[in-house]
A and B are shown apart, each in its own frame.
Chain A
């Protein structure tokens, strides 16, 4: 080998990257002193800058899950229908007919705050690659978004940018964005959440995995060229924000949905041949995590010649190439001899295709640049020795039970409903949804709030007697409940997701979760993480919906202020006949029945409710309790009634309680209802706390159904010991009457519901 002085002449920066590191370099890269010492000890040398960069990326919270791993291991991940649980690019479940659903949710929180358009667009691009890396064609996108207070000036800019970014990527690549949730709270003012979920479809026996195989097999780089964007993005995503965070803009990647589309088509075309042995997308920590993970999962090694990596710029160093997070790139191991055939496919799609090295059996990652050894590291410490912390925690719960009579107000029921539908958390998200192409691919049945879960038909399952099978997808979390009681809040997120899937007529099957929290070094934040994982675990195992993939996003804090704990649950289910799936909207002259857990439907749970916030200007007290037996009973009865085609609508009761849910069901066809009240409430005043708690309480495990066959439904509900309360028959008046107490104009509320978000975004009122 040439002396290092030669390297200095060729590429000065590469020369610097190959120099021995110092402790200060490690601290700059976000490693601790202990971690640096551990690295030096494990690899038996002082790492050079490139090697240290690789360690810092692999040891980052984003890649190593060092704070949460201990607890993530406790999540239930197995069931007979699980083909692949956590640990791969995405989770895989068996959905029958020799098909598999492949799905995952992932956060792009920090980049989206710094650069909302590119941050959210690359979030979508990244999650799509996770899915098609497994050999699945993505068929639907979902998201869970959290923004700061609507009246904070930055919020409008962030909402606009994130929504355009999500649409910009999804619309262009041609995969429908079919739903999700968008909420606002001041705790997200300096730290928004952008969680994107993708669902794909594959043949059950054609799933591709990432573990490298066969020493001597070629390692192929495909897709876009490597640039200097996003260097150390994984490290940035693992740190708290300060006022100067927007200075981190250069660490945000830039999305190219067009190249993403070409890469998608080229990869799926290649996967139709027998050339691909293993494949991994270059997501967080780019070439570093993909090469390290592929080699270590296969218990092998890898030699790469970085001079062969297609780059966008001259004289990129080994450090930059390994840590770049340029988008739309994949790494794969091909069957020897199939390179030509594979290359012709990538040529057709005008994508780079480079043979950059080979699989070895050394257990080491060896990289060369300009003929010099830029990195020579054992793989084991990179993966196995990534720290796993058992951080101290304290699960804080608010046990105080608020009674309805604790809340006193002069507001009428109509006043409260008006306030509710002026709240952007509840109001229609149509303004957002219309910016997403929800119908491309031609299989969307229900998108964007038409049903409690979004329904996408499974292409090719059409039969003579049926439109075919469908997938039901939802994302859910109620952070204010998690804040008050992390365990109950974790359970509630799972239960609401399952209820939403069942309300659409589908069977809940499995979960992908996105755990968004603040700084885990704080005891109470760590307690939120531990508590909600406990709650999620308990509910998910009880309901038989294991967690098959997921993502953790920590350090969601700005200047020491943490976000509300937000463990988002993405759930997938199936429905055998898509024509049986249910809208939330009630039909004319159908009977609405509230069913499920209740205290005889005589009052409501007000702690932590939207109603409480209206009266008290804050949320506190214990959140509504969760009874898993009742949750299961509601899911089962919904499925039974759907199967017998007895329902015309279903909508779960969540934010804003029973009356809000009723209004949402009446909006679409502008219907009215003379609503029955429990005997104890018939003679109440309009502002009676008990009556209002009945209207707006947020008790769980409840759903409102619409039916034409009220007698038959009642018989079945009684046979199955399900509590229920008949609300009444819909009419064409567009008035919701509560006996003699009040008359509420549905068309009036419907207008508010439609106009809230456009008004917030400064758009003209819609006619």
Chain B
């Protein structure tokens, strides 16, 4: 599989994502610098987490105006697959590739912790199709602005089209803070209208070995790779 990881000034999870993808595919993903207009044909482009341009404007807003975004949009229009994680998700939203917005966490604090995600009953897509609906994944989050918000009509449309892919879920009835950021309807990740683009706040690349919070991230990414290469 040919994959690429986009690097903006201020990206900081690029190496982690490269390590994870190399572990799964045995091949090192190419690095795509944000100033590049021409990128080769790739099976998967990942926009990793970080603080692109310091997030000094709205998170992802400056990165969404980089030259590479044009190439990514072309890749998407050719039916290409894109995964945006954390700041990558924020960039996809700022680039209007995905709808809605990601606002400050409800408690107004940066939050780094483990979360439990539930795979939703959603449209066909290359990220979750190999996993069971209702399956739970333990994957950590680390962000300041992960509180997903969309107007009601837009939310309704997302639901009707089966584009809500991942939700934070309680592990027991007493758990009150299972949603780390106050996102609408516990949304953790959403799909584009063709199902080929997934934006998610949790970091699957940080859950790839037993010593470090488990391997559910590895399971998730391995499934993506398997679905994409068929």
Contact = CB atoms under 8 A, between A and B. Distances in A.
Contacts of B209: 467
B78 interface: no
B150 interface: no
A171 B212 contact: no
Contacts of A524: none
A257 B54 contact: yes
B109 A435 contact: yes
B146 to A, nearest CB: 13
Interface in B106-155: 107, 109-113, 140, 142, 144
Interface in A531-546: none
Interface string B16-57: 100110000000000000000000000000000111011110
A171 B205 contact: no
Interface string A231-268: 00000000000000000000000001111011000000
B212 A442 contact: yes
A442 B12 CA distance: 11
Interface string A530-564: 00000000000000000000000000000000000
A246 B144 CA distance: 29
Contact of A258 (B15, B54, B140, B176): B54
A35 interface: no
Contacts of B111: 434-435
A767 B171 CA distance: 13
A434 B10 contact: no
Interface residues of A, number: 34
A579 B211 CA distance: 7
B196 interface: no
Interface in B39-97: 49-51, 53-56
Contact of A256 (B54, B113, B205, B208): B54
A439 B213 contact: yes
B59 to A, nearest CB: 11
B141 to A, nearest CB: 10
B175 A442 contact: no
B211 to A, nearest CB: 5
Interface in A433-464: 433-442, 444-445, 457
Contact of B50 (A174, A262, A579): A174
Contacts of A168: 110
B228 to A, nearest CB: 22
Contacts of B13: 174, 440
Given A434-B112, A435-B109, A442 B206 contact: yes
A442 B16 contact: yes
Contact of A261 (B12, B49, B56, B175): B12
B211 A467 contact: yes
A258 B112 contact: no
A261 B55 CA distance: 13
A445 B210 CA distance: 10
B203 interface: yes
A439 B177 contact: no
Contact of B177 (A164, A440, A578, A767): A767
Contacts of B12: 172-174, 261, 440
B142 A767 contact: no
A350 B15 CA distance: 21
Given A259-B54, A439-B206, A767-B175, 8 more contacts: A171-B51, A258-B56, A434-B111, A435-B111, A437-B110, A438-B112, A442-B212, A578-B211
9 interchain residue pairs of minimum CB distance:
A174-B12, A258-B54, A767-B176, A442-B16, A172-B51, A437-B142, A435-B110, A437-B112, A439-B206
20 contacts: A167-B110, A256-B54, A258-B56, A261-B9, A261-B51, A434-B109, A434-B112, A435-B109, A435-B111, A435-B112, A436-B110, A437-B142, A439-B213, A440-B12, A440-B206, A442-B16, A442-B19, A442-B205, A442-B208, A766-B177
Interface of B: 9-10, 12-13, 15-16, 19-20, 49-51, 53-56, 107, 109-113, 140, 142, 144, 174-177, 203, 205-206, 208-209, 211-213
